[in-house]
Structure 1
Amino acid sequence: MPDAPSTLLRHLWIPLADGTRLAARVWLPAAGSGPAPALLEYIPYRKNDATAARDNSLHARFAEAGYAAVRVDLRGSGDSDGLMLDEYAQQELADGVEVIDWLARQPWCDGNVGMIGKSWGGFNGLQIAALRPAALKAVVTVCSTDDRYADDVHYTGGSLIASEMLPWASTMLAYNARPADPAVVGDGWREQWLRRMADTPVYVEEWLRHQARDAYWKHGSVCEDFGAIQAPVLAVGGWYDPYCGAVLRLLEGLDVPVRGLVGPWAHTYPHQAEPGPAIDFHAEVVRWFDQFLRGRDSGALDDPALRVWMPEWAAPGGDREVRPGRWVAEQNWPSPRIERRAYALGGESAGTAAASDPLRERAVHLDSTRTIGTAGGSWLQFGDAAGQFGPQGGDDGLSHTFTTAPLDEDAEILGVPTVTLRVSADRPDAQLAVRLNDVAPDGSSRLVTRGLLNLTHRDGHEEPQALEPGRAYDVTVPLVATAHSFTPGHRIRVAVSASYWPLAW
């Protein structure tokens, strides 16, 4: 990557058609290099303080590589004018289209624009691409999703992820309650601040009003029409991040050049990876944008469809800094190399069961009031020690478990595991939590992945149906996408419970 000095414009106003101004920070390539493609990151996290150090770690490198890198605060956030009424509101997306058009017309831009973002910026990069602004030529989306209901921080499997939804709403309320910088916005900063605090809604109220997958969640879910996206997409995720399944779905659903990259990471940019190993993410991004914004043959399209980190066993908590494993690749996704294997499962229950009956015929009673899930860490992990899961043995002992005999050969998995069970309940609503664990020869149980299902959503998330108490239902619980290498001598365990506290309410 070229290493040339860049110019930082600490503040720039982007005017919108309705008179609103959005605040931007711009890193320009070396003087005299001429107009360049622009790369936009468009998020609500306050360019002047909250993400300033992280922004510089990303965008300064892009400017050194010859791009004009632009970091914009959304309407109603940071130093920008207005109010932010919700995540991914239609106004936010329409503003984004205007921003792209404005960037393309600047004298330092050659008319080509790319979008890059993690989480919120990864979401709206896909959503704005679906609106097809003419200048948007490629997208890099990191730790995001194509389906706002399926695997964001609000619901999963129809279950309320209260451990994420409530803190996230509180976080955004706190962000929106901070004043803009008086040195940027001028004497009206106090009036703007008070109005923002008074008129910005508490987002969780709206999220709780929409507990099924209705039009509210379909808005901004690009899986509703993958064909709307015509810009090439590099989709990036991490196995410790619950959004990682979107990478696989984008590979399957998009009809444009698309590549997937999934590392061992949590909800972080891969150059700041926790856990490691990190990668030279800047080079990956520049290679993608060179291909589609500069028209260079950078080799980006020669990559396999999917590159992933294949994790190996580590004792729970033993991989906080580096997760052992290796890089593997699939030339196509879905992969024709994935095969089915059958393993015999033995059952162990913390509930009651008729031991004289074959396992398939037993009635195992799961208690929905058990405190199971305290070793689960955070649903949305950022790599911090407090958010990581712990040893699963205690939760396993309170659940019903199905466990294989020790394996006599390697078993590597890649994709979305699903678990099908026959269940009945004594009430009209209930939920299941299912965990897939790797059990070492010494009995240590490590979480590989997990999933939830609100049983009133057993036939879909749009029209929940109450359970008929006592009636048996065959249900399938999808787990979060994963990759893992089970080694000889280890056992594969499926653990099932009727509660998962405090993650799921």
Structure 2
Amino acid sequence: MLYPGMRWEFLPPPEAARRVLHLAGGADGQLASRRDAAATAVSWVHDPDKLVPTATNLWSLLVAEWPDYRATTDRDDVLAFRGEPQTEALELAGPVTFHGTVTTTGPEMDLFAFLLDLEPDGSARFICRGQQRLTATDPTEVTMSVGEAGYVVRPGHSLLLMLCSSDYPDFIPLTGTTERWWFATSMRPTTQTLEIGGRAGARLELTVL
């Protein structure tokens, strides 16, 4: 029973450890144990007229439907970073956190991060997700929760991190202008840029057993 003033706290098991995967490979999109030595920038476009679709009919059906994101990861307005196939089971057991530096050509940007299980047949299944709205007209460091994962990535499967700037209709998108969606008379695409490689390159922090 939860009493007033109490709250649930989900803590990793005491034997859990931190594992860091670096976003690497430039346009090839890799999750790697070592970062690229040279810093580079990768970009994607948020177009309010061509929004990234929500994968399910209702957010509450995400686990029940367990949708396949493979078509979404192939979109031009999405970045996808793939890890190597697992040689043994990888047990995720706690917080997943994204660290990176982003910039947008718009007044604001939405950053959505999906951690997916890339199966040998090419399907990409949901593990966890996070999102944050940012004012990033100048390079902006972001530390964002991608949720809590209790999941086993089986041998032959790979982790896949998908980044995008809309998830419609679950989230009302930005217009690319200072106008809010409900009252907007115009919309325009914006470009988001992420730094990878180098000392401050983007990375994903996992809690594993």
TM-score range, shorter chain: 0.5 to 0.7
Give 1:499's aligned residue.
Answer: 166
8 Å CA contact 1:411, 1:487 repeated in 2: yes
State which of 51, 59, 71 in structure 2 corresponds to 1:371.
51
8 Å CA contact 2:99, 2:141 repeated in 1: yes
| 2:86 counterpart of 1:407 | yes
State which of 144, 152, 158 in structure 2 corresponds to 1:485.
152
Give 1:197's aligned residue.
Answer: none
SS of equivalent residue, structure 1 residue 394: helix
Residues 223-255 of structure 1 deviation map (CA, whole Å, 9 limit, x = unaligned): xxxxx44xxxxxxxxxxxxxxxxxxx6246xxx
Q: CA deviation at 1:365?
A: 2.5
Code of the residue aligned with 2:60 in structure 1: it is L
Give 1:437's aligned residue.
Answer: 116
Q: CA deviation at 1:481?
A: 2.2
8 Å CA contact 1:347, 1:400 repeated in 2: no
- The residue correspondences of 1:48-127 to structure 2 (distance < 5 A) are 126=2
8 Å CA contact 1:348, 1:401 repeated in 2: no
Q: CA deviation at 1:360?
A: 4.3
Give 1:422's aligned residue.
Answer: 101
State which of 435, 446, 450 in structure 1 corresponds to 2:129.
450
Distance, in Å, in 1 between the alignment partners of 2:46 and 2:165 is 6
Distance, in Å, in 2 between the alignment partners of 1:366 and 1:337 is 41
Distance, in Å, in 1 between the alignment partners of 2:158 and 2:38 is 18
Distance, in Å, in 1 between the alignment partners of 2:71 and 2:26 is 14
SS of equivalent residue, structure 1 residue 480: strand
Q: 1:500 to 1:359 in 2, by over 3 A?
A: farther
- Structure (1/2) with the larger strand percentage: 2
Code of the residue aligned with 2:107 in structure 1: it is P
Distance, in Å, in 2 between the alignment partners of 1:428 and 1:415 is 33
Greater RCO (CA < 8 Å, at least 6 residues apart): 2
Give 2:192's aligned residue.
Answer: none
8 Å CA contact 1:344, 1:404 repeated in 2: no
Normalised TM-score (structure 2): 0.66
8 Å CA contact 1:375, 1:392 repeated in 2: yes
Q: 1:396 to 1:348 in 2, by over 3 A?
A: farther
Q: 1:358 to 1:400 in 2, by over 3 A?
A: farther
Give 1:250's aligned residue.
Answer: 8
SS of equivalent residue, structure 2 residue 115: strand
Give 2:16's aligned residue.
Answer: 338
Normalised TM-score (structure 1): 0.29
Q: 1:360 to 1:336 in 2, by over 3 A?
A: farther
SS of equivalent residue, structure 1 residue 479: strand
Give 2:188's aligned residue.
Answer: none
Code of the residue aligned with 1:362 in structure 2: it is A
8 Å CA contact 1:371, 1:501 repeated in 2: yes
- Identity rate, percent: 24
Q: CA deviation at 1:371?
A: 2.4
Code of the residue aligned with 1:250 in structure 2: it is W
CA radius of gyration, larger in: 1
Distance, in Å, in 1 between the alignment partners of 2:57 and 2:24 is 27
Aligned length: 162
8 Å CA contact 2:56, 2:62 repeated in 1: no
8 Å CA contact 2:127, 2:149 repeated in 1: yes
Q: 1:493 to 1:382 in 2, by over 3 A?
A: closer
SS of equivalent residue, structure 2 residue 73: helix
Distance, in Å, in 2 between the alignment partners of 1:423 and 1:479 is 16
Structure 1: stretches of 5+ with no match in the other structure: 1-114, 116-125, 131-227, 230-248, 253-332, 351-356, 456-466
Q: 1:477 to 1:401 in 2, by over 3 A?
A: same
8 Å CA contact 1:378, 1:389 repeated in 2: no
8 Å CA contact 2:12, 2:93 repeated in 1: no
Residues 50-94 of structure 1 deviation map (CA, whole Å, 9 limit, x = unaligned): xxxxxxxxxxxxxxxxxxxxxxxxxxxxxxxxxxxxxxxxxxxxx
SS of equivalent residue, structure 1 residue 250: coil
Q: 1:377 to 1:492 in 2, by over 3 A?
A: farther
8 Å CA contact 1:346, 1:403 repeated in 2: no
Residues 13-40 of structure 1 deviation map (CA, whole Å, 9 limit, x = unaligned): xxxxxxxxxxxxxxxxxxxxxxxxxxxx
Distance, in Å, in 1 between the alignment partners of 2:18 and 2:26 is 24
Residues 363-399 of structure 1 deviation map (CA, whole Å, 9 limit, x = unaligned): 3133243321332442223876xxx342101111121
**Deviation beyond 6 Å, 4+ runs, structure 1:** none
Residues 115-156 of structure 1 deviation map (CA, whole Å, 9 limit, x = unaligned): 6xxxxxxxxxx4xx32xxxxxxxxxxxxxxxxxxxxxxxxxx
Structure 2: stretches of 5+ with no match in the other structure: 29-35, 173-209
Distance, in Å, in 1 between the alignment partners of 2:21 and 2:61 is 31
SS of equivalent residue, structure 2 residue 17: coil
8 Å CA contact 2:113, 2:131 repeated in 1: yes
Code of the residue aligned with 1:479 in structure 2: it is V
Q: CA deviation at 1:346?
A: 4.7
Code of the residue aligned with 1:481 in structure 2: it is E
- Structure (1/2) with the larger helix percentage: 1
